[in-house]
Each structure stands twice: as structure tokens, then as C-alpha cells.
Amino acid sequence: MRNQASRAVFDYWINIKRDRPAPLRTEIDPAALRHLLPYLFIAANDADGVPSFRLAGTRICDLFAREFRGAAFAEMWLTSDYRRSVEIVHNVIHDEVPAHIEVDAVNGKYRHPHEMLLLPMKSSEHERSDRVLGALLPQTDRYPETELPVKGLALDNWTFLTGDVSHFGMPVIADQRGLGERLRRIFPDRRI
């Protein structure tokens, strides 16, 4: 993770989940993340199994110049990437494993790198995860106001994370986009 705020959200999630796969939504204390609330969201599957926003922070809504509460998670993405993004959310919820996604916020001519975290949560102690706590944070300075709103997010790279160590000390457990090409450059004589 390149953004200290992403690490802070992830560390908070790790600390409240303890040795469980996911924390309860009632354990999330907005006051503990108050300076990051504008960049946070909560998404859950609706009655049809479609991931939808329950809440979306003001910086996220400002980025797109629209309210996301009640909107499908796929509406945030460019058409070319919305299916993969929905698959990732489904995996985070069903497999109870967090994901880190590198995205570009795109307005047609300008691309601005962002990081997204998807962290599983559950509504009840006796259930499996049924929602995600998410964060969408710029990797560098905020998107220039003159270039808003963005048209959508473009998926650049993603990975699932595992481990119980704070400060982003966990190994990768899933493929990343472009990983095969990078491995072919490192091991040119091997079939990958």
C-alpha cells in the first residue's frame, strides 16, 4: 500500500477483527476513523445478490459528482472493469478475505491513481460476512477539482491479502493483473 491512510484503515480492521475472519459491523467505531470517513464506504449484497452501497463518504461522492447510497457497486467502474470488480467484492464477502485494488480514476483524458481496500464485515456473530468496509484513497494528491467529475474507475492491479499482522505485513494469495508478464520477464526460459 502506498497510502498511509490505507494502512491506517487496514490496521484498524486487523485490530478489531482479532483472530476472526471478519469483525462485526457494530464493532466499527466511526470516531476511530473520523478523519478518513469521507473516503470510506460500506457495500453489501442487495436482495438480488448485487453488491450495492449502503454508505459512501463525501470525497467519493464528490469525485463522481453523485450520491452512491443505494447504487450498485458496479456503477463506480468503467464498463470494461465492472464485472471483475463485482467478482472481487463477492470473493471478499464469501471467502472473508480482504482485497487491495489499485485503480485509476478516469475522466476521459486524465487518469489519477487511487487505492481501494475491501474488508469483510458481518452483521451477526453467528453469520458469515455479508458486507464490506471499503476505502477509496488517492495514491498522491487529491484529484484536481478542475478535472471533476470522473467517469469511472479503471482496474489496474489487485490482490487478496492474508495474515493477522498489522502494518501491512501479509503475503499475497491471489493473482494480480499483469503478474504473468512480469514473471516471464524474470524467468524468460520458463513456460509460465
Answer positive or negative: Cα dihedral of 159, 91, 53, 149: positive
CA distance 55 to 118: 14
CA distance 117 to 62: 19
Interval 82-107: pLDDT, tens: 999 999 999 999 999 999 999 999 99
The pLDDT, as a whole number, for residue 45 is: 92
pLDDT of the residue at 167: 42
Specify burial of residue 25 (Cβ count, 10 A radius: 0-12, 13-18, 19+). Answer: middle
User: Is the pLDDT score of 110 beyond 80?
Assistant: yes
- Residue pLDDT, tens place only, 14-73: 999 989 999 999 999 999 999 999 999 999 999 899 999 999 999 999 999 999 999 999
Of 125, 119, 97, 93, the C-alpha closest to 9 is 119
Instruction: Report the 10 Å Cβ neighbour count for 171.
Output: 9
* Confidence band, pLDDT 50/70/90 cuts, at residue 184: very low
* Predicted local confidence at residue 127, as pLDDT: 85
Per-residue pLDDT, 185:
46
Query: What is the dihedral sign for C-alpha 135, 140, 144, 147?
Result: negative
Q: In order of start, what are the domains of the chain with their CATH numbers?
A: 4-186 (3.30.450.20)
Q: In the structure, what pLDDT confidence band is assigned to residue 162 with cuts at 50, 70 and 90?
A: confident
In the chain, the DSSP E strands lie at: 40-45, 51-56, 99-106, 111-121, 131-138, 152-160
Q: How far is residue 23's CA from residue 122's CA, in Å, rounded to a whole number?
A: 6
114-139 pLDDT per residue, tens: 999 999 999 988 788 999 999 999 98
The neighbour count for residue 185, using CB atoms within 10 Å, is 9
- What one-letter code names the amino acid at 107? N
170 band by pLDDT with thresholds 50, 70 and 90: very low
Question: Whole-angstrom Cα distance, residue 120 to residue 138?
Answer: 21
Per-residue confidence band for 79, with pLDDT thresholds at 50, 70 and 90: very high
